[in-house]
Structure 1
């Protein structure tokens, strides 16, 4: 009788993998804890890092086998930062999880900063600064005769204003800008003084003035009564363009009291109290008749002129015999 024996091969004992556990910067191997031979686990990157996950196998020898993932710090996107144009974001470029940076106000604004931190999810968190525009230095305002820069007072960077001419001056207006450096740039108008017109009454013979055909804004001239006229004291007149000159001396003719007509039968009653520039016709007393028609003119020297030869002749009584016969 033949004995037949069978040998049974036992499978190797399962082992807990405790060796070869992957590690490194940003590596997350928490899925590989407490696995046994024949099982697999996923090794990934920790929060704040990025990279492809890898599969590890637990061998019969209790050693984990696989490729350690390459985990690199996750960069935060600048798209998660405030996007206001006045903000300077360049210091936050390339920041990774856990790092911080500052955002500041750009050129043309008062200094201010805000702090931001790059989070593990790739987003920035923080508070942006409040940016206030700088005022343009007033000493840089355009200067010149007749300029009106009131529109530019208190101007801030990147703002425009209009420079005009003050009342009494004229020129086309122009635009001036306050740059990010806080300085004014632009060409101011060249303002020329307007003239004050001389009104028609200034041409009166009773008035003498130094105003010519007109004077420029802010200038002065004088007026007084002409010879043979009297009234206001001499006056200084100032031009307030564009208005016409006003306030000239008020003058009336002086009375003529010289060279009054005289002679036999001559009557000067028509020429009594005659003022400069006025005329009169001398007359004759009763019983006399004029032998000429000259008129007297009252001159600026207070004397009547033009009637020096005026005379009167006795009137004829006619034929007395005719009267008796009647």
Structure 2
């Protein structure tokens, strides 16, 4: 019991990472079953309802205003950018590329944490982060390999989704860095999900997307996706508030592996060697970063 009490926030983060691994597959599937905006709106609505049932109906007055305003705005913007980048991708393979771009956020989180806290870490942290970026670029380059021409050609195929995916990575890194400072130990994840769902419904109402057709299969997928994703974010939000953000950010590097395996099986996508190699590079960057931050504890100026 003492072990669980001591390490519960790390365990929360690890479980959240496993649950998050299904995000790419579920959002892409729901976008095909319903529509990019509508499918996302439905999923976040189910997640919000699930969180209210499990965690109770939140009271706005119980949360610090800076956390609600700044944290909420960052969270909603991130979720919309991520969901639409996956849903609006031209193909399932391109959707998986969007997910890999999004997984730059752990590296960016570590980098921002070091900068904001003026932490003293080994210089090897920076090349390890660069390896993660290189891995993402290698995935996007495709069979043609890593070159400016191939990268630009792939991005030009659907520039909006690439922009949203990269923006999502930056926004979530900022959210993780800021939340621990302004949350006051509170967890407003339920409110954030409600806000995200509401914003998506407004976007859906203003869009020209078609109406929904529900089947037993699509309804079951929607229910499972909403519960799984809601649980993952609730656990992560608790982990960020009470855990070691550098360690959690580093462990998050393993998400691309689980996500790639799950999505490729779930969505029946055959991956090129270059894509798998890119994921391995992201993992190598993670392992190096974890090693150098673990062996030399950062010193934070208070």
TM-score range (shorter-chain normalised) is under 0.3
Higher share in helix: 2
Larger Rg: 1
In proportion to residue count, which structure has more strand? 1
- For normalisation by structure 2, the TM-score amounts to 0.16
The TM-score with structure 1 as length reference comes to 0.15
